Amino acid sequence: MLTDITIGQYVHGDSVVHVLDPRIKIIITIILITSLFLIGNFWGFAIFLSFNLVVIKISNLPFKKVLKGLKPIVFLVLLTVILHIFMTRGGEVLFQWKFIRIESEGLYTGTFMASRILLLIMFTSLLTLTTSPLQLTDGIEYILKPLKKIGVPASEISMMMTIALRFIPTLMEEAEKIMKAQKARGADFESGNLIQRAKNLIPLLVPLFISAFRRADELALAMESRCYQGGKKRTRLHIMNINRRDITALILAIALAVVVSFF
């Protein structure tokens, strides 16, 4: 069912990783991902992999869920490996059959790239698995704040994300209802070729868009009447505090990044 889709993949918890300040977590993720591109050998990947496993353990995440998060990119990873194996030339010839030839350089680069992609996804999913979407938006808003000076509408972006999060479940429910209503009139959403199927979605999408626009309209009025004035300075109910734990985590992450990048 459509409504079963959860937003993000946040797993509720109260581990050390969960309670870290979202801004710190975002910054740490950025640092680690950057260093991922500076790594020169497999030792770095090995260290990052064990780091990931340790964090998963500490934050009590179900390992299955982490693996599930990697599933969608398996294809991309395989493609990278295969392309490199067959296209990159250099080193010893490891295998040859007619025009197919695998050389050591290709195998090495392929695996190297694949490891990098896998770790990249692992880092980002660790962030989204341990940080609620709400905290993420708040964190992003704060991090973008300095960019306000050069005209980046940080609070508006964050407000947009908040509203999107708020309305995704509502619109999902609505989509399911409209779909059923059209099915009751004999609509078929399941069969036909790709073009046919896309065409069959019109009776779902048109009412859904109309409803989304109507909701947006009413929401705008409601927000305005509650004194929302766009970019004007607002206060917040939840104030984020950085404490010693956050600083320690940040220092550890930087140290790890330095070690791994220049190892």
Partner 1 sequence: MSLLELENVEFKYHGQTEPALKDINLTVDKGEFVAIIGANGSGKSTLAKLLNVLLRPDKGDILVENINTKNKKQIWEIRKNVGMVFQNPDNQIVATMVEDDVAFGLENIAVPSEEIRERVDHALELVGLTGYETHETHKLSGGQKQRLAIAGIIAMEPSCIVLDEPTAMLDPQGRKEVIETIDFLNKEKDITIILITHFMEEASIADKVYVMNKGKIESQGPPAEVFEEIDYLRSINLDVPAVMEVANGLKSKGMKIPEILTIDGLVDALC
Partner 2 sequence: MLIELKNVTHIYDQEQKIKALDDINLEIGEHEFIGIVGHTGSGKTTLVQMFNSLIKPTSGDIYVDGIKTTGKKPDLNHVRQTVGLVFQYPEHQLFEETIYDDVAFGPRNLNLDQEEVDKRVKVALDLVGLEYEDFKDRSPFNLSGGQQRRVAIAGVLAMRPRVLILDEPSAGLDPQGREKLKGLLKRLHQSYNITIILISHRMEEITQLSSRVIVMDHGKIVLNGSPKEVFSHKDKLEKLSLELPEITEILYRLKERGCDIRTDIFTVEEAVDEIINVVGSQNYVN
12 binds partner 1 (CB under 8 A): no
2 binds partner 1 (CB under 8 A): no
Distance of CA 4 to the CA centre of its chain: 18
**Partners of 100 in the beta sheet?**
97
9 binds partner 1 (CB under 8 A): no
239 binds partner 1 (CB under 8 A): yes
Angle, CA of 23, 28 and 30, to the nearest 5°? 95
Per-residue tokens: 88: 């990159």
166 binds partner 1 (CB under 8 A): yes
With contact defined as beta carbons under 8 Å apart, do 204 and 178 qualify? Answer: yes
Angle, CA of 109, 110 and 115, to the nearest 5°? 95
CB of 210 to partner 2, least distance (A): 7
Amino acid, res. 58: I
Amino acid, res. 91: G
Distance (Å, rounded) from C-alpha 35 to C-alpha 249? 16
CB of 182 to partner 2, least distance (A): 6
Q: How many residues bind partner 1 (CB under 8 A)?
A: 29
User: 33 vs 140, which CB is nearer to partner 1?
Assistant: 140
Amino acid, res. 240: M
215 binds partner 1 (CB under 8 A): yes
| DSSP state for residue 240 in the 8-state scheme | P
- Mark 174-213 with x for binding to partner 2 (rule: CB under 8 A) and - for no binding: x--xx-xxxxxxxxx-------------xx--xx--xx--
Judged by the rule CB under 8 A, the positions of this chain that interact with partner 1 are 133-134, 162-163, 165-166, 169-170, 214-215, 218-219, 221-229, 232-239
Judged by the rule CB under 8 A, the positions of this chain that interact with partner 2 are 174, 177-178, 180-188, 202-203, 206-207, 210-211
